[in-house]
Amino acid sequence: MKKYIMSSKKCLPADNRSSSRIPLSGIRREGRYCGKKIALLHFAYPPNTGGVETLIKEHAGFLTELNFDVTIFTGSGEEKNPRIKLIVIPELQSVMNFNAPLQDKILKKGTIDDDFYQLAKLIEQKLENVLQPFDVIIVHNMLTIVRNLPFIFAFTEYVKKNPNKKYIAWTHDHSYISEFKIKDLATVVNSELEKRLLITPINGVKYIAISESFKKPLIQLMNLKTEDVEVIPNGINIKRFLEIDDSIWTVAEKYKFTESFPIIVSPVNILGRKKLDYCIDIINCLRAEFPNLLYIITGNPSRHHSTNEYFNQLKKQVSNYHLEKNVLFLTEIFNKALSDSEIHDFYSFSDAIFLFSESENFGLPLLEAFLTRTAIFTSDLSVFHEIAGDFVNYIDYKTIDPKQAAAIILSYIKNNKIILANKLTRTKYNLESIIQKRLIPLLE
């Protein structure tokens, strides 16, 4: 049964790709993986809920953007992306979902009889029919879970008969491991065949564990060598989770937001009274500690005042400090005012807000930063005290020079667990980066 299958597949030039794509940087535009066919297998796929289901969907999307030819084989699910094929094979589900009496016999009674082997043979025949054209076969969680033992038996036989493919067992769980400890096998094993299928590594299959903590009992249980198991952590699709607009994600990719730290934003127009020159002086001092910092000024030169001279002064200041890779003027990228959702995206990415105005009658960015839980450093204005009270970090630019201000900000950042946790997620658990740096080398 096919839920959906694309009729043809080809490499698309960048300008012909769907506008709903998940953009990837650099490597995707080379088209170097065009034609390499990858099969992803799991019991179920969205809209079925589950962490593995969601992760496979993310993997399929990213791999497709890298010009891999991806097909999902699953027991249940749907895929609306026209570039990703999805084939439903009901026998890949948990046996409980399509033959509850057989599952009861296998697990509760420990009976392995003709019904088991007939199902295994059927699954193997279907694998032979559908997997022939694939270069890489990635099985998520199906080889170490008791939900479908006939599949494990069938897949083991398939690998023996087709040794020239690349196989990956992506192991999120194991039925015999709980809380990173091996269970008492005498109490949990239902049959000798079940035990053999779950603890015997399949020759020719590369095993992946999702954490070092899980890898330790896994290699002990399955008698694997440490070097035989790769750890590839789960990650998060930052664009999707933060709901970043396509326009902003394009900028985020180009200027490597996910690799930058800290990201500091001044959500103001380019006016002398905004003291952006003071901010850039601080950025120059901070760069010694944070060479990958990024300072973003979201606004434009004023249309009501002649501020081009001040803008040119700021650009010269950036050049003199050699901060071209650290300071980003959005007015040089966008020829329009940013929408509310686009402005929100910069707050979502930012670690801190700089608002060192000489004068203000209010201070809306304070409220925006509060709602996005972003740290704020401001000048010591009475109106800011009126609005923000003790919830911001006041720095009087009249008495505190940029070097002193940088020291205050540095100390704050280094001791703020929320900011550091944000950095950890962006730089270590960015799913796009994990796929490019950890998974792709295994596929080549």
Provide the CA 266 distance to its chain's centre, in angstroms. 27
Give the pLDDT confidence score for residue 336 in this predicted structure. Answer: 84
Strand order across the beta sheet in which 136-140 lies: 85-88, 69-74, 37-42, 136-140, 166-171, 205-209, 229-231
User: Residue 30's pLDDT is what?
Assistant: 46
> Which of residues 396 and 304 earns the better pLDDT score?
396
CA distance 312 to 299: 14
**Predicted confidence (pLDDT) per residue in 229-244, tens digit:** 999 999 999 999 999 9
Question: Given pLDDT bands bounded at 50, 70 and 90, which one contains residue 141?
Answer: very high
- Work out the number of other CB atoms within 10 angstroms of the CB of residue 65: 21
Cβ atoms of 167 and 204 closer than 8 Å: yes
Percent of the chain at pLDDT exceeding 70? 91
Please report, for the chain, how many H helices and E strands are present, in that order. 19, 15
**For residue 8, what pLDDT band results from cuts at 50, 70 and 90?**
very low
What pLDDT does 402 receive?
Answer: 97
Q: How confident is the model at residue 79 (pLDDT cuts 50, 70, 90)?
A: very high
Q: What is the pLDDT of residue 32?
A: 56
Q: Could you tell me the domains of the chain?
A: 14-236+430-443 (3.40.50.2000), 242-428 (3.40.50.2000)
Mean local confidence (pLDDT), 69-76:
96
389-432 per-position pLDDT tens digit: 999 999 999 999 999 999 999 999 999 999 999 999 999 999 99
pLDDT band at 207 (very low <50, low <70, confident <90, very high): very high
Write down the H helix ranges in 162-237. Answer: 185-188, 192-199, 212-222
pTM tops 0.75, yes or no = yes
> Taking phi first (over 0 means left), then psi (-120 to 50 degrees means alpha), and beta for anything else, what does residue 223 get?
left
Confidence (pLDDT) at 146: 97
pLDDT of residue 301: 87
What's the mean pLDDT in 193-207? 97
pLDDT digits (tens, 9 = 90+) for 82-118: 999 999 999 999 999 999 999 999 999 999 999 999 9
**Per-residue pLDDT for 17 more than 70?**
no
- pLDDT (0 to 100) of residue 169: 98
The reported pLDDT for the residue numbered 26 is: 39
**Per-residue pLDDT, 429:** 96
Give the pLDDT band of residue 33 (cuts 50, 70, 90). low
Contacts of 162 (CB under 8 A, 6+ apart): 131
The two tokens of residue 436 are: 């490019």
pLDDT tens-digit series, residues 339-362: 999 999 999 999 999 999 999 999
CB atoms closer than 10 angstroms to residue 18:
12
User: What per-residue confidence (pLDDT) applies to 35?
Assistant: 67
User: What number is the average pLDDT over the span 142-158?
Assistant: 98
DSSP state of 236: B
Query: For 121-138, what is the mean pLDDT?
Result: 97
pLDDT at 20: 32
* pLDDT for res 356: 97
Report the mean per-residue pLDDT for the chain: 91
